[in-house]
Chain A
Amino acid sequence: MSTWFSETFPNVVYQGWGGDTGWGTAIFQTLFMTFWSAVFGGLLGLIFGVGLVVTGPKGITPNKTLFWILDKIVSVFRAVPFVILLAFIAPFTKALVGTQIGINAALVPLSLGVFPFYARQIQVALSEVDSGIVEAAQAVGASFSQIVFGVYIKEGRSEIIRVSTVTLISLIGLTAMAGAIGAGGIGNMAVAYGYNRFANDTTLFATLIVLIMVLIVQVTGDWLARKYNHK
């Protein structure tokens, strides 16, 4: 078996598990980038998404100016292709984390790249919360935070999980590009050690690993979304 494997996939075996170019390292890098940019980008996206809903024309505190500003920020960041964003915000990244290359530096563009996408998704998810329920909450004198957390987020929970799943999957896609600024990861493995070296077996393996990651996220997301839906 192992002879067959090393003969059929020589480059996969050549990369090894540990070390700078190993599979384990690449997987860890991808997970690390996905996790932390999901945390930062997710928080930012959640804040913007909630902001868009509450200040929107049908929101609980309509505010045309604030809505306009949030809306434009989201639109502009969404319009910039990620690979360009990586390069474009490099000075900002350097100011923030002290370097513009490497895995930590990648977290800045990844967070900024994913947040507008997530903000829009959250906006749509929360807009689907029945306005009658919001009105009922207002009628019992609920406060702003009770309406945001107790009604919008709690009632939209299942939908939020669903859009978070979609976002997380697209984030895994973005991390594949982070190799461009030396952050490593599975994407970098596929391109730098697979494609560039004509090592098709390495590319194939990298693809399989990403597919498995996406599958795990999708299945878990679907399960959670079902679990938290009592509609």
Chain B
Amino acid sequence: MTAPIISLKDIDVTFTPKGKTIHAVQDVSIDVQKGDIYGIVGYSGAGKSTLVRTVNLLQEPTSGSVTINGETFFSKTDNGATQKIKGKELKEKRRKIGMIFQHFNLLNERTVEENVLFALENNKEKEKIKKEKVAELLELVDLSDRAKQYPSQLSGGQKQRVAIARALANDPEILISDEATSALDPKTTRQILDLLKKLNKEYGLTVLLITHEMEAVKAIADKVAVMQNGRVLEKGSTLDIFTKPQAELTKEFIATATNQDQAIQAITDSETVKNLPADQTFAELKYTGNSTNKPLITSLYEQFGVVANILYGNIEVLQGTEVGSLLVILSSEKDNLDDALAFLASQNVSVNILKGAQA
């Protein structure tokens, strides 16, 4: 494995307003590989924004180390020795880390192109080359026709695209997206996420995606960390987190991103399930990847004489892998059912019996 492009190690951030101590971030370590879209989810106040601000040192950690592209940006060991970049060097490094925000934070008194140009003010290139660069960036975010307008004349999605163009002006390798879609409607959110995905694919841009919307993570993130009270509860590939969530909070977040919980609830409450005969079993089958291609339901009947009545089915695609979920009523002899369940297990289908024979 290559060295991570972002490596946060044992990060603590403590605030002490009026003598009170607030642990905004506690003991967080995260490695982000180049080219990843790394999601960080959590409710507001979980410490996500504080954590990502340590990446470009808009927020200095109280302790821990921040290493970007193998370079130590900040390091403070327990014995108190602090090493950090600052001044001009820090400003130069920051230019290689783009950042976009929930409220866009555009300069209101500058036009769209002047906003992008602002990020290039420290660039020593000729004015003409900078102008070309701005035009290119606006083309990329599809806003060339708005170049002379002021932010107040744009919609939320357009403002965020200007912010993305500005963030990309200095050709950064990393883009920090701090709740960038949280103030946008679902359709616009999707457009912005697609744009981030495109930038990630075509330019190898590493994206740090901070959000409280699991939908956003599901849509584009490769990896995800779940945060609560300043700590990371769990982290891993999006696929793993979605299919095998461990922490309660993670399950809660996943439930918000799929409609499954409501569906299960509605079906569990239905007459069919309430009046389930003794020889029938109500179960949830979950499967990932390859197993989705096999005719499972047919196999159950042909091999074991088990009839599966499908009440609900859902397939999602996460990082290109299909993740399926079925709610079924299985009816058969008791022995046959046990064999069938063993077969399902051997096919990497996880079975969760909700009501009936073995519940």
> Counting CB contacts under 8 A, is B107 at the interface?
yes
Asked whether A142 and B97 contact (CB < 8 A) given A133-B105, A137-B118, A230-B109, the answer is: no
> Counting CB contacts under 8 A, is A228 at the interface?
yes
> Counting CB contacts under 8 A, is B9 at the interface?
no
Identify the closest chain B residue to A137 (Cβ).
Answer: B118
Q: From the candidates A139, A155, A158, A228, name the one contacting B58 in the complex (CB within 8 A).
A: A139
CB-contacts of A129-152 with B (<8 A): 130, 132-133, 135-143, 146, 150-151
CB-contacts of B92-115 with A (<8 A): 92-95, 97-99, 101, 103, 105-110
Q: Report the minimum CB–CB distance from B324 to chain A (whole Å).
A: 41
Contact call B110/A141, Cβ cutoff below 8 A: no
Contact call B122/A143, Cβ cutoff below 8 A: yes
> Counting CB contacts under 8 A, is A64 at the interface?
no
Contact call A231/B103, Cβ cutoff below 8 A: no
Could you show 16 A-B contacts with beta carbons less than 8 Å apart?
Answer: A130-B103, A133-B108, A136-B99, A137-B118, A138-B58, A139-B58, A139-B176, A140-B119, A140-B167, A150-B121, A154-B110, A155-B109, A228-B109, A230-B108, A230-B150, A230-B151
Q: Which residues of A are found within 8 Å of B119, using beta-carbon distances?
A: 140
Contact call A140/B94, Cβ cutoff below 8 A: yes
CB-contacts of A106-164 with B (<8 A): 130, 132-133, 135-143, 146, 150-151, 154-155, 157-158
Q: Report the minimum CB–CB distance from B14 to chain A (whole Å).
A: 17
- Overall SS of chain A's interface: helix
Q: Which residues of B are found within 8 Å of A139, using beta-carbon distances?
A: 56, 58, 94, 97-99, 167, 176
Contact call A143/B91, Cβ cutoff below 8 A: yes
> Counting CB contacts under 8 A, is B166 at the interface?
yes
Q: Which residues of A are found within 8 Å of B118, using beta-carbon distances?
A: 137, 140, 142, 150
Please report the C-alpha to C-alpha distance between residue A130 and residue B106 in the assembled complex, in whole angstroms: 10
- Contact code string B114-130 (vs A, CB < 8 Å = 1, else 0): 00001101100000000
Q: Which residues of B are found within 8 Å of A130, using beta-carbon distances?
A: 103, 105
Q: Report the minimum CB–CB distance from B158 to chain A (whole Å).
A: 15
State the interface size on chain B (CB cutoff 8 A).
Answer: 32
Contact call A142/B121, Cβ cutoff below 8 A: yes
Q: Which residues of A are found within 8 Å of B152, using beta-carbon distances?
A: 230-231
Contact call A132/B101, Cβ cutoff below 8 A: yes
Please report the C-alpha to C-alpha distance between residue A143 and residue B176 in the assembled complex, in whole angstroms: 20
Contact call B109/A136, Cβ cutoff below 8 A: no
Please report the C-alpha to C-alpha distance between residue A230 and residue B91 in the assembled complex, in whole angstroms: 28
Residues of A within 8 A of B (CB): 130, 132-133, 135-143, 146, 150-151, 154-155, 157-158, 228, 230-231
Please report the C-alpha to C-alpha distance between residue A12 and residue B275 in the assembled complex, in whole angstroms: 104
> Counting CB contacts under 8 A, is B25 at the interface?
no
> Counting CB contacts under 8 A, is B250 at the interface?
no
Q: Which residues of B are found within 8 Å of A230, using beta-carbon distances?
A: 108-109, 150-152
Please report the C-alpha to C-alpha distance between residue A116 and residue B222 in the assembled complex, in whole angstroms: 56
> Counting CB contacts under 8 A, is B169 at the interface?
yes
> Counting CB contacts under 8 A, is B170 at the interface?
yes
- 3 closest Cβ contacts across the A-B interface? A136-B105, A141-B91, A141-B95
Q: From the candidates A133, A141, A154, A157, name the one contacting B122 in the complex (CB within 8 A).
A: A141
Additional A-B contacts beyond A139-B97, A142-B91 (9; CB < 8 A): A132-B101, A133-B106, A139-B56, A139-B58, A141-B90, A142-B118, A150-B107, A230-B108, A231-B152
- Contact code string B46-62 (vs A, CB < 8 Å = 1, else 0): 00000000001010000
Asked whether A231 and B56 contact (CB < 8 A) given A132-B103, A138-B94, A146-B121, the answer is: no
Q: Report the minimum CB–CB distance from A56 to chain B (whole Å).
A: 15
Q: Which residues of A are found within 8 Å of B94, using beta-carbon distances?
A: 138-141
Please report the C-alpha to C-alpha distance between residue A133 and residue B119 in the assembled complex, in whole angstroms: 12
Identify the closest chain A residue to B176 (Cβ).
Answer: A139
